[in-house]
């Protein structure tokens, strides 16, 4: 029982320049960013998935509602799924009022996250350009801009000259195939350091008493009273989870997984409107800064930004074939390179350094599935497609509220699982395709 000694907490040192200097000067090391403790037999709530959604949910349960007897379980290590594989673009220029309000709250939370979590998440609000190459995509950009403005979000359609001044490397000439006719410009959009967000939530939740359990795989969800086998399914309620490290009793289980959402939910007898597809990304070798904004082209299925380290980070649309394999493909990099050179012919000599992929749970209306399910005590925060990272803070905040109040918060009403039973889908499909 090595955990006992470690479980005695002291107030951990705050991160600051002064502390950094002092520790550097004294040659001292920093304490563990989160504790390693033994798994208890019972928690007030169990969160499945140690990605940014699960960690944020646990953090806001503790911080906003004082619910601290919470375990976050991850079958690998924290941030090993989509949280560490995404391209870390943050924006709120969605198409539907429900989407815009929701993501706008997320951007607000992100903008103070470094101070709230006491870790530099490097949120760089450098501006976000969504290029339009046809009249119809320009019309969709206008649509988004108008809806955005009505929700108080800074978003507008700009012409090719302004596009050129925001991102000089873009070819805004009278291009033969995909001319840049304009762009949706969203100044508050930008990028964040994804790992820092994961670690920041974990560290801050840990400080409040939340437990993070890595290499802890959920193998079953224990239910009672449901219409399906083993008391699972509609009408039942959750009593605990089974893991590779033993059973845990808990009245509340929140499924915050991506890639595995269907499998975890099926453990509670809940079927989801989800198909899992890999989403690939790639990074180049670093070069000196030349791309000051985030650039997205829906028609060309590509989005690109340059990190503070000088690398270009690329993403595209999800792979067309449903898959749980994350091996990556050559055709992805070929298509990516072809498309990005269509936009920026000047970077043909940049070298692709690494490609990877993550799993995305796609829903029919390109919107998440959040809140309650027909199984009492089993909540979902899933179906995040390709837009999960940017929604993490608000999702955690709202899911925590749902857990505590037992009611669906207004901000996520549109995303309820029940919409697929009553046919009231969310209209983000209209702006679908690639929307990073």
Residues 166-195 that bind other proteins (CB under 8 A): 168-169, 177, 193, 195
Shortest Å, Cβ 422 to other proteins:
7
- For other proteins, which stretch binds (CB under 8 A), given 66-74, 143-151, 388-396, 400-408? 143-151
CB within 8 Å of 228: residues ≥ 6 apart: 234, 236, 269
CA angle, 318 as apex, 315 and 320 as ends, to 5°? 140
Q: Pairing between strand 211-213 and 182-186?
A: unpaired
Cβ count near 426 (within 10 Å): 20
Q: Residue 129 interacts with other proteins (CB under 8 A)?
A: no
Interface of this chain with other proteins, residues 224 to 253, rule: CB under 8 A: none
Q: Is 64 in the site for other proteins (CB under 8 A)?
A: no
Q: Of 42, 64, 112, 405, which one interacts with other proteins (CB under 8 A)?
A: 112
The size of the interface with other proteins (CB under 8 A), counted in residues, is: 118
Tell whether residue 29 is a contact of other proteins (CB under 8 A): yes
Q: Does 255 bind other proteins (CB under 8 A)?
A: no
Q: Indicate the burial class of 223 (C-beta count within 10 angstroms; 0-12, 13-18, 19 or more).
A: buried
Helices (H), 113-181: 113-117, 135-150, 160-166
| Calpha distance 332→355 (Å, rounded) | 9
- Min dist CB 296 to other proteins, Å, is 17
Pairing relation of β-strands 246-249 and 211-213? unpaired
Check residue 78 for interaction with other proteins (CB under 8 A).
Answer: yes
* Position among 187, 220, 290, 404 found at the interface with other proteins (CB under 8 A): 290
CB 151 within 8 A of CB 104: yes
The values of phi and psi at residue 7, to 5°, are -75, -15
- 133: closest CA among 173, 183, 171? 183
Rg over CA atoms, the chain: 22
Restricting to residues 361-390, which ones interact with other proteins according to CB under 8 A? 364-365
Spatial distance between the Cα atoms of 157 and 172, rounded to a whole number of angstroms: 15
Contact region for other proteins (CB under 8 A) — 28-36, 65-73, 239-247, 402-410?
A: 28-36
State which of positions 205-224 bind other proteins (CB under 8 A). 214
Q: Which of residues 325-364 bind other proteins (CB under 8 A)?
A: 325, 327-331, 333-334, 336-338, 340-342, 344-356, 364
Q: Does 429 bind other proteins (CB under 8 A)?
A: yes
Of 69, 108, 118, 249, the one binding other proteins by CB under 8 A: 118
Between 172 and 239, whose beta carbon lies closer to other proteins? 172
Question: Is residue 33 a contact point for other proteins (CB under 8 A)?
Answer: yes
Q: How far is the CB of 405 from other proteins (least distance, A)?
A: 26
Q: Does 82 bind other proteins (CB under 8 A)?
A: no
Task: Tell me the closest approach of the beta carbon of residue 124 to other proteins, in angstroms.
Answer: 6
Q: Which two tokens stand for residue 337?
A: 């390179």
Binding region for other proteins (CB under 8 A) out of 46-54, 256-264, 385-393, 395-403: 256-264
Of residues 1, 2, 4, 423, which one binds other proteins by CB under 8 A? 423
Look at strands 45-48 and 70-73 and give their pairing: parallel
- Tell me: does residue 301 bind other proteins (CB under 8 A): no
Distance CA 408, CA 419 (A): 13
Residues within window 395-414 making contact with other proteins, judged by CB under 8 A: none
Segment near other proteins (CB under 8 A); pick from 39-47, 58-66, 128-136, 219-227: 128-136
Contact 247, 217 (CB under 8 A): no
Q: Which is nearer to other proteins, 35 or 45 (CB)?
A: 35
Cβ 320 to other proteins shortest distance, Å: 5
The residue among 142 and 237 lying less far from other proteins, judged by its C-beta, is 142
Query: CB of residue 432 vs other proteins: minimum separation in angstroms?
Result: 7
- Residue 338 burial (C-beta neighbours within 10 Å; 0-12, 13-18, 19+): exposed
Question: Could you tell me which residues come within 8 angstroms of residue 353 by beta carbon, excluding any fewer than 6 positions away?
Answer: 282, 283, 284, 285, 311
Task: Name the minimum Å distance from CB 166 to other proteins.
Answer: 14
For tokens 């809806």, name the residue: 147
Would you say the C-alpha torsion 259, 263, 266, 268 has a positive or negative sign? negative
Residue 77 as a binder of other proteins (CB under 8 A): the answer is yes
């Amino acid at each position: 029982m090595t955990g006992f000694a470690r479980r005695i907490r002291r107030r951990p040192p705050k991160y600051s320049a002064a502390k950094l200097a002092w520790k550097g000067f004294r040659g001292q090391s920093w304490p563990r960013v989160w504790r390693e403790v033994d798994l208890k037999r019972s928690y007030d709530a169990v969160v499945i998935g140690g990605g940014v959604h699960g960690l944020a949910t646990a953090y806001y349960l503790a911080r906003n509602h004082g619910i601290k007897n919470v375990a976050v379980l991850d079958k690998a290590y924290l941030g090993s799924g989509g949280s560490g594989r995404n391209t870390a673009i943050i924006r709120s220029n969605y198409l539907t009022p429900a989407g815009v309000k929701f993501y706008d709250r997320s951007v607000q939370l992100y903008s103070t996250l470094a101070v709230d979590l006491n870790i530099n998440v490097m949120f760089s609000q450098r501006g976000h350009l969504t290029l339009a190459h046809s009249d119809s995509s320009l019309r969709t950009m206008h649509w988004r801009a108008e809806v955005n403005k009505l929700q108080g979000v800074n978003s507008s359609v700009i012409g090719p000259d302004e596009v050129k001044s925001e991102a000089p490397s873009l070819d805004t000439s009278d291009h033969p195939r995909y001319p840049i006719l304009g762009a949706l410009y969203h100044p508050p959009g930008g990028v964040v350091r994804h790992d820092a967000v994961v670690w920041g939530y974990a560290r801050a939740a840990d400080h409040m008493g939340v437990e993070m359990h890595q290499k802890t795989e959920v193998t079953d969800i224990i239910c009672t009273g449901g219409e399906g086998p083993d008391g699972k399914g509609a009408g039942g309620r959750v009593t605990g989870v089974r893991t590779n490290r033993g059973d845990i009793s808990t009245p509340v289980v929140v499924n915050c997984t991506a890639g595995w959402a269907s499998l975890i939910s099926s453990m509670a007898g809940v079927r989801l409107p989800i198909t899992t597809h890999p989403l690939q990304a790639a990074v180049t070798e670093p070069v000196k800064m030349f791309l000051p904004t985030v650039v997205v082209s829906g028609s060309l299925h590509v989005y690109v930004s340059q990190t503070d380290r000088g690398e270009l980070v690329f993403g595209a649309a999800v792979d067309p074939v449903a898959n749980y394999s994350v091996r990556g493909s050559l055709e992805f990099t070929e298509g990516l390179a072809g498309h990005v050179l269509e936009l920026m012919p000047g970077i043909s000599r940049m070298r692709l350094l690494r490609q990877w992929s993550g799993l995305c749970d796609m829903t029919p209306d390109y919107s998440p599935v959040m809140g309650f399910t027909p199984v009492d005590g089993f909540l979902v925060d899933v179906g995040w497609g390709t837009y999960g990272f940017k929604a993490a803070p608000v999702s955690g905040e709202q899911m925590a509220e749902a857990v505590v109040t037992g009611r669906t918060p207004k901000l996520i009403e549109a995303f309820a699982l029940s919409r697929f039973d009553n046919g009231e889908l969310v209209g983000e499909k209209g702006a679908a395709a690639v929307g990073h």
